[in-house]
Amino acid sequence: MEITESKKLFKRAQKVIPGGVNSPVRAFKAVGGSPIFVKSAKGAYLYDENNNRYIDYISSWGPMILGHAHPEVIDAIRDVSLKGTSYGIPTQLEIDIAELATKMVPNIDMIRFVNSGTEACMSAVRLARGFTGKSKIIKFVGCYHGHSDCFLIEAGSGALTFGTPNSPGVTKGTAQDTLTAPFNNLDAVKQLFIENKDEIAAVIIEPVAGNMGCVLPYDGFLKELKNLCKQNDSLLIFDEVMTGFRLAKGGVQELLKVDADIMTFGKVIGGGLPVGAFAARKELMNFLSPNGPIYQAGTLSGNPLAMAAGYSTLSILNNRPEIYHSLEKKTAYLHDGLNEVLSNTEIPFTINRLGSMISLHFTDSKVVDFETSSLGDNDLFKKYFHGMLKKGVYLPPSAFESYFLNDAISYEDLDFTIAAFKEVISEII
């Protein structure tokens, strides 16, 4: 498979864009090699600059749940664009999507739109800190909530287990207010509440994690977290940027029947345009400016094009909930196919899956947190990734990512993927 045009573009890009990309994971640093450059996409397929076709298993890291260039979404964007692209003045569209989102997601009365998942999570933490008057937050190792300073913290070695920056530019002052615990480890969270009594504003979690591969919460873990927050007058923030509107209409709160205090969204809610959002009961949301004292703002928040793409996507999902069942069945079919291929080899593996999120880990350990996710054979993953890419299957270019199926993927595409996987594995062993 020739990717000469992408290689030329990557060289050009690196002269004027740091690393040649506008988001690091795209540069293929975790898997090596030169990234492909996409010229167009339609349905389940990506087309690179050499016109190679790939079945897409990242769906733009989640947003394209309906598939690329869905006609109804494109029409909605086109229709709105003819009336102008941004006003910085309220529009009916913002009300329409806010009413729809608060109808689809349980346990929220109000929602504020922003422009990315990072902005949504950053604003949710400020809302929790402002509402509780407390400073510290607990996050989980391996969970990613965007690139706001307070999240770029890794497990500290300090006795108080507060974090240390995992990026230059993040100050020690910021890090001391972020505590970290291993995912699925309730005792560690209990200990943090004891050591930081009355100081913790919120616990923020990806309720089904997608940034260490797909990692599921233990039964009862999320409910216990909610109880701990309640007992300590802290708030529970579900970062549903990945899971929101993907795992169910109402996200993890609907699927796993557990309530949080603040929900954050991104990806699907924007239908492929830059949208994030955070939502809660009105008692909390009315603390936000201009009604309340907690400031949060954005020039392009509620942008009409983005609202049109999001509203069209959510409307289709709301009116056709059978899409979720279809995605679940297709992902289970893929799971079975990958399992079948690997079960006939000596290769250790674990497959984690929930709904249309799935990840393959080359370890025989159960993958339940970042530590166990790190046990995967990364060299083997790189060979797997490039082997599949050459056969026209585009997987996430990192072992620490979830795959995201879109509803345009057909069973023929899944059979093609499983057959390609069988060939790649036989070439590797």
Residues with active-site annotation:
144, 239, 267
Q: How far, in Å, CA of 37 to CA of 398, rounded?
A: 17
Q: CB-wise, 196 or 359, nearer to ligand KE4?
A: 359
Site for ligand KE4 in 351-390 (CB under 6 A): none
Binding test (CB under 6 A) with ligand KE4, winner from 67, 163, 210, 302: 210
Residues 6+ apart with CB under 8 A from 305: 77, 80, 81, 85, 86, 273
Q: CB-wise, 31 or 341, nearer to ligand KE4?
A: 31
Binding test (CB under 6 A) with ligand KE4, winner from 211, 315, 331, 406: 211
Q: Is 239 in the site for ligand KE4 (CB under 6 A)?
A: yes
Q: Is 144 in the site for ligand KE4 (CB under 6 A)?
A: yes
Q: Is 421 in the site for ligand KE4 (CB under 6 A)?
A: no
Minimum CB separation of residue 208 from ligand KE4 in Å reads: 9
- Dihedral of CA 96/101/104/107: which sign? negative
Q: Candidates 113-121, 153-161, 220-228, 292-300: pick the segment binding ligand KE4 (CB under 6 A).
A: 113-121
CB neighbours of residue 379 within 10 Å: 9
Q: Is 206 in the site for ligand KE4 (CB under 6 A)?
A: yes
Q: Is 118 in the site for ligand KE4 (CB under 6 A)?
A: yes
Q: Is 177 in the site for ligand KE4 (CB under 6 A)?
A: no
Q: What order do you get walking across the sheet with 262-265 strand by strand?
A: 110-114, 276-280, 262-265, 235-239, 200-205, 136-141, 178-182
Q: Is 315 in the site for ligand KE4 (CB under 6 A)?
A: no
Six-digit token string for 287: 């603390």
**End-to-end C-alpha distance for the chain, whole angstroms:** 22
Q: How far, in Å, CA of 362 to CA of 381, rounded?
A: 7
Q: Is 397 in the site for ligand KE4 (CB under 6 A)?
A: no
Site for ligand KE4 in 41-70 (CB under 6 A): 61
Would you say 35 and 21 are in contact if contact means Cβ atoms under 8 Å apart?
yes
Q: Is 238 in the site for ligand KE4 (CB under 6 A)?
A: no
- Tell me which residue of 49, 40, 47, 44 sits closest to 9, measured CA to CA: 49
Ranges assigned E (strand) in 285-411 = 350-354, 357-361, 393-394, 403-404
Minimum CB separation of residue 280 from ligand KE4 in Å reads: 17
Residue least distant from ligand KE4 (Cβ): 117
Q: CB-wise, 108 or 114, nearer to ligand KE4?
A: 114
Q: Is 196 in the site for ligand KE4 (CB under 6 A)?
A: no
Would you say 180 and 142 are in contact if contact means Cβ atoms under 8 Å apart?
no
**x-marked contacts with ligand KE4 along 259-278 as a string, rule CB under 6 A:** -------x---------x--
Provide the CB-side half-sphere exposure for 111 (13 A, CA).
27
Q: CB-wise, 165 or 276, nearer to ligand KE4?
A: 276
Q: CB-wise, 146 or 304, nearer to ligand KE4?
A: 146
- Tell me which residue of 33, 9, 68 sits closest to 406, measured CA to CA: 68
- The residues binding ligand KE4 (CB under 6 A) are 23, 25, 61, 116-118, 121, 144-146, 206, 210-211, 239, 241-242, 266, 276, 401
